[in-house]
Amino acid sequence: MSQYITRRLIQSLFLLLGVTILVFFMADALPGDVLGAMIQDDMPMSEEELQLMRKRLGLDDPLHVQYAKWIGQLVQGNMGYSFVTGVPIARTVAQRLPATLELMGLSLLLSILLGITLGTLSALHPYSALDVVLTVLSLVGRSVPVFFLGMLLIYAFALRLGWLPVAGRVTAGIPFSLYDHLHHLVAPVLSLSVIRTAGFTRYARASVLDVLHSEYLVVARAKGLPERRVLLVHAMRNALIPIITLIGLNLPRLVGGAVIIETVFQWPGLGYLFVLAVTQRDMPMIMGLALISAVAVFAANLLTDIAYAVADPRIRYEE
């Protein structure tokens, strides 16, 4: 396992390099530049001022030189500075990361608990009324776009009923309180949880159904083991493999953030920050966030592989 992890880490370094090159050149291909996004109609700049700004920001260098400078700073542990604010990228990410981890973590945890519970119940009562209802709800949950559900919650519970705040992480102008903070979390967490819960429910149902009539469960029952132990210890452990895969696919979003839902609810996380960076053509910020997202993807894949071996001892990786 140790050699496998080492080999995967080396492969990830080369993949990270490829991702940064691709993102860098794709970001450069966007129309306009950071100076065009910064210039306001009421505060125009002369051509001489624009040239000085481009030289100061290094935008007049060839593209490969700009990338080499960025890599050089990254190797030294410096992710660079935002073109727009002048603040270090690492500091901005550190300020925004807790909001994203909070939102994504709570929604993922809620989805896993509800999805596995509902999927298992559906599998234990196949083709019953409960199974049919959960199947229909899962299909509906998978079909509704997350941004539409978010706007629907805003319209129904914020604008019409006034039960929930419209946007933000806290209410501006009042002292911080846990109740107010949790109040702001309800709508975005629900918006993200619905589609994920639907996915986990379908995967859990199919996986549990696949193992319910396996020979080792028949043997476990023949030994006189309680049905609860048969289901929780023998059936669920073997049914976890597809669910672990789905969890692994969702883990990178804990860092990368949900761009759409954070934008809808004006949630001050990394997803909303990425939208602002693209809008403002802030190349260092785009590169920093892309790098963090790529690292999160590779780390999630590695953790998923390790979780496979823990959940099913039969799984072994070649050294």
Query: What is the per-residue pLDDT for 72?
Result: 82
Sign of CA dihedral 29, 33, 37, 41: negative
pLDDT value, residue 308: 67
Beta bridge partners of 43: 40
pLDDT grade for 211, boundaries at 50, 70 and 90: confident
Least confident window among 96-105, 159-168, 248-257:
248-257
The number of beta carbons lying within 10 Å of the beta carbon of residue 43 is 7
Residue at 108 is within a domain:
yes
Q: Is residue 245 part of a domain?
A: yes
For residue 319, what pLDDT band results from cuts at 50, 70 and 90?
A: low
CA distance 162 to 125: 39
SS3 content of the chain, % helix, strand, coil (to 5): 75, 0, 25
What is the extent of the structural domain holding 100? 96-269+298-311
Q: Give the model confidence (pLDDT) of 232-267 as tens digits.
A: 777 777 777 778 777 877 777 776 667 888 888 888
Amino acid, res. 251: L
- Residue 105: other Cβ atoms inside 10 A: 13
Counting the structural domains of the chain, the total is 1
Q: Cα–Cα distances in Å, from 181 out to 150, 261, 267?
A: 18, 17, 12
> What span, in angstroms and rounded, lies between the C-alpha atoms of 230 and 31?
60
pLDDT for res 315: 59
Within a domain: residue 206?
A: yes
Q: Is residue 16 part of a domain?
A: no
Mean pLDDT of 33-62: 64
- Domain assignment of residue 233, yes or no: yes
In a domain, 319, yes or no: no
Least confident span in 102-111, 218-227, 256-265, 269-278 = 218-227
Tokens of 176: 């911080």
Q: How confident is the model at residue 274 (pLDDT cuts 50, 70, 90)?
A: confident
- Whether 311 shows a pLDDT value over 80: the answer reads no
Residue 66 lies in a domain: no
- As a whole number of angstroms, the distance between CA 246 and CA 65 comes to 40
pTM for this one?
0.77
Mean pLDDT across the chain: 80
Q: Is residue 85 part of a domain?
A: no
289 close to 229: Cβ distance less than 8 angstroms? no
- CATH number, domain of 224, equals 1.10.3720.10
Partners of residue 40 on adjacent β-strands: 43
Q: How far apart (Å, rounded) are the C-alpha atoms in residues 150 and 26?
A: 30
How many residues in total does the chain contain? 319
Share of the chain above pLDDT 70, in %: 84
Report in angstroms the alpha-carbon separations of 245 from 82, 135, 199, 250, 312: 36, 21, 12, 9, 13
Tokens of 221: 């029952």
